[in-house]
Structures are given as C-alpha cells and as structure tokens.
Amino acid sequence: MSKNRFEGSELLHAYVDGELSLEEKLRVEQWLETHPDDARMVAEWQKQNQGLNDLFATKINEPAPETLSVGTDSHQPLSQNSTLPSLLPQIAASFLILALGVAGGWFGRDYLNNLTAEQTINLATHQSFAQPAMEAHWIYTPEVRHPVEVAQNEEDHLAKWLSYRLETPLTIPDLTAQGFDLMGGRLLPSGTGPAAQFMYESKEGSRITIYLSKSFSNTPAEAAFHFNQAGSTRAFYWYSGNLGYAVIGDIERNKLFTIVNDVYQQL
C-alpha cells in the first residue's frame, strides 16, 4: 500500500485524525479490511479521540477567564508592582480547567480572586482527577502483549512495590465475584506524584482498571462517589484518607457501580 505523505503508523494516525486525501483514505480502508490488528488499533484510537472530544466539548466555545488578561496592550511593559507573579498559580489552574473540560463552566473572576493560590490549585486538581485515570485506561486496556507492568502471578510483589512508591499500604481488590480476574498492575505518573493502576479482565474480554494516586489536599476527604463519562467509558471516583481512587470501564453504569461498591468495601 502506498504511504504517500505518511510512513508506518503515521498513516493510520493521519487516517484517524482526518488528514488524508480521499484516495489515501480509501487505500487505508482497504488495508484495514484485510488487517484486523491494525483495524482494532484504529478503532481504539477513534474511541480515545471521541472520549477526549466528549470531555472537552463544554469548553471549546467558552471565552478564557478574565484572570488570564494581564493587559490589552501587548507592547505595554509591566510595572514593578505588577500582580502577574501572584496570578500565575491561578492562571495555571485556569488552564487546567480549560484543558481537562471539567463540568460546571468557568469559575467567576471574583470567586477566583477570593481564593488563595493553594486553594485555586487544589480546586482545579480535585476536579481533574478523573482525567488522568481515564487516559491511563484508554492507553493500556487495548494492549495485547503488555497491558500491565507486573503480572498477577507476582501480586504480593506488586502490592508491596506500589505501596512503597505511593508511601501508603495498598490492597489489591479481589473482583472474581464480579466476574473480573486480576491481570496485574503498573506504576504511573500523576500531578501529585506516583500513581498506581490495577487492571482486570472478564471471561468475555472486557477490561476495567482501578487508579490510585495521592490525594490533592493534606486534609483527609470524606468518601463520596463522583461520576464521569466520556463516550462509552465510565468512571466512578472518590477520595478517602490521603488517596484518590477511580474505577473505570466500558461497561454499563449500574454494573460498574456494583464493582465500585465491592472495591470500596475491600480498600
């Protein structure tokens, strides 16, 4: 198959991103008809794109917060008394809110100005907790050969290793009663330091993940379930003690909630 302007996997990425000419698109579709592995990979990329589009949809057409406006004249130098340094944390938090498409719209300028820098950052990060959890789910659940970093046959080692990295004792939930067997887990980065992901699979091949990371505040939070959805991917997340938890899956909401309750009882 002629790759024209693109080479290797770039061609498939270009197809998913809608960057191909009609002729190139038809050639890729012919290729996918006879190459099921590539077709499956393309379908996963398309699902990820749709999920991200759903998350960002509420923010695309909204104006930037007024706290981002330092001045209207781009050539006007800042005075020595400029408040820009004090606004930087709020600007960072505002970009977080925009990029992650949190529900509820922009915070008002007056509300932001009445928050301390630490409160603003904590607020933005709290509301964005589900996003990295869902992204990790999208990235690793399609993997065939390397879905996890440490397999289930080393469960004890996995629990001890991730407990050490997150600096808190971790329990790996047993979800066999829910029809899901542990595949293993991995270490991930997060905005608050190391994070952990446990992956499970049903006999039908459906996969769910549990994501844990340090909480975003030094004050222990009361457990309260929150729900987020992007495309067919659903997530319940909550905070308890010094950790945040998320359970993510492309399964029916009530079934996922039953799993969440099981996970909560075991953690």
Distance between CA atoms of residues 57 and 59, nearest Å: 6
Q: Residue 246 to residues 47, 65, 263, 265: CA-CA distances in angstroms?
A: 20, 29, 10, 14
Q: Residue 160 to residues 55, 163, 196, 265: CA-CA distances in angstroms?
A: 34, 5, 12, 20
Q: Determine the pLDDT at residue 3.
A: 44
71-126: pLDDT as tens digits = 444 444 444 444 444 444 444 444 444 444 433 334 444 444 444 444 444 444 44
Q: Residue 87 to residues 66, 95, 100: CA-CA distances in angstroms?
A: 11, 12, 20
User: How many structural domains does the chain have?
Assistant: 3
Q: Are 114 and 152 in contact (CB under 8 A)?
A: no
29-61: pLDDT as tens digits = 888 888 887 887 788 777 766 666 665 555 555
Per-residue confidence band for 15, with pLDDT thresholds at 50, 70 and 90: confident
Task: Decide if 255 is inside a domain.
Answer: yes
Amino acid at 85: P
- Of 84 and 247, the one with more pLDDT: 247
Q: Are 127 and 102 in contact (CB under 8 A)?
A: yes
Distance between CA atoms of residues 241 and 166, nearest Å: 13
Task: Decide if 96 is inside a domain.
Answer: yes
Task: Decide if 193 is inside a domain.
Answer: yes
The yes-or-no verdict on residue 194 having pLDDT over 70 is yes
**What is the DSSP pairing of strand 226-230 with strand 207-214?**
unpaired
Q: Determine the pLDDT at residue 161.
A: 95
Task: Decide if 75 is inside a domain.
Answer: no
Q: Determine the pLDDT at residue 8.
A: 61
State whether 124 and 177 are in the same domain: no
State whether 204 and 259 are in the same domain: yes
Per-residue confidence band for 172, with pLDDT thresholds at 50, 70 and 90: very high
Decide: pTM greater than 0.85: no
Domain span holding position 113: 87-128
With 0-12 / 13-18 / 19 or more C-beta atoms within 10 angstroms meaning exposed / middle / buried, residue 187 is middle
Task: Decide if 69 is inside a domain.
Answer: no
Task: Decide if 68 is inside a domain.
Answer: no
